[in-house]
Amino acid sequence: MDRREFVEGCALGAGSLAATLAGHAWAADARPRAYDRVLLVDELGKPLKATSLRVQTNYVFHYPFEATPVFLLDLGKPAVATPLVTREKQPYQWPGGVGPGRSLVAFSAICAHKLVYPTKDLSFISFRKGAAVNPQTPSKGSDLIHCCADHSQYDPARGARVLGGPAEQPLCAVLLEHDPKTDQLTATATLGGELFDDFFKKYEMKLSLEVGPNARQAVARQSTVRELDRFCRNPVRC
């Protein structure tokens, strides 16, 4: 099962995951999947300070694999714990944001509909500040993650639940740990409906060209955070 370790909700006391989950009241059916603990660093390789993030700005890092992108956002408002359900009807409790304002969140940037994701050349999916605009469904909120491919919309302040479009489940959450002493961020696990197997199957050839032979290698030790506009040459706005 690659390098990941499935951790059942009833056995969350073990190892590093216990530290990750400290302070969160997990539902009995929550099933975070622990991967390597990965420190988020800036483009110079220095530990990223959470307070250096610009509010409501798209940042990207890769986790848990070298080729799987993740959005990191400071929403500028608290993101509260939210009960959610996967496409396979598995319930889980997203724990909310971390950091002093509980505003820091991270979600897989692989759209839960047809797996569109940001590359260095093009991105159809991103966070949009302000009122949602969806040509296919009435707008239901603001400050959403929007996928221009088929207009799925996700609410990052509520665990990336689906607010519009054809996606059948929330974006998979990446669990973060914020150290109040150092202001550093560490990615520790995923929670929700993972689509990594489908992703690697669908884009096997493309990823081997984009990322090389290590596309499916687990990220180890640290992952670089970049603004989406620096990571991607053509972030599409729709």
Q: At closest approach, how far in Å is the CB of 147 from ligand FES?
A: 3
Distances 25 to 28, 93, 104, 106, 219 between C-alpha atoms, Å: 9, 9, 18, 19, 27
Our finding on whether 113 is near ligand FES (CB under 6 A) is yes
Largest CA distance in the chain: 47
Q: At closest approach, how far in Å is the CB of 119 from ligand FES?
A: 14
Rounded Cα distance between 122 and 195, Å, is 20
Our finding on whether 165 is near ligand FES (CB under 6 A) is yes
Question: Which of residues 39 and 238 has its CB atom nearest to ligand FES in the complex?
Answer: 238
Question: Which of residues 95 and 118 has its CB atom nearest to ligand FES in the complex?
Answer: 118
Contact with ligand FES (CB under 6 A): which of 75, 116, 162, 187?
Answer: 116
Map residues 123-152 to x or -, x wherever contact with ligand FES holds by CB under 6 A.
Answer: ------------------------x-xxxx
Our finding on whether 111 is near ligand FES (CB under 6 A) is yes
Stretch that binds ligand FES, among 65-73, 106-114, 132-140, 200-208 (CB under 6 A): 106-114
Amino acid (1-letter code) at residue 168: E
7: tokens are 């951790």
Question: Which of residues 73 and 111 has its CB atom nearest to ligand FES in the complex?
Answer: 111
Our finding on whether 158 is near ligand FES (CB under 6 A) is no
Question: Which of residues 214 and 234 has its CB atom nearest to ligand FES in the complex?
Answer: 234
Q: At closest approach, how far in Å is the CB of 198 from ligand FES?
A: 12
Question: Which of residues 76 and 166 has its CB atom nearest to ligand FES in the complex?
Answer: 166
Question: Which of residues 12 and 171 has its CB atom nearest to ligand FES in the complex?
Answer: 171
Our finding on whether 114 is near ligand FES (CB under 6 A) is yes
Which residues would be at the binding site for ligand FES (CB under 6 A)?
111, 113-114, 116, 147, 149-152, 165-167
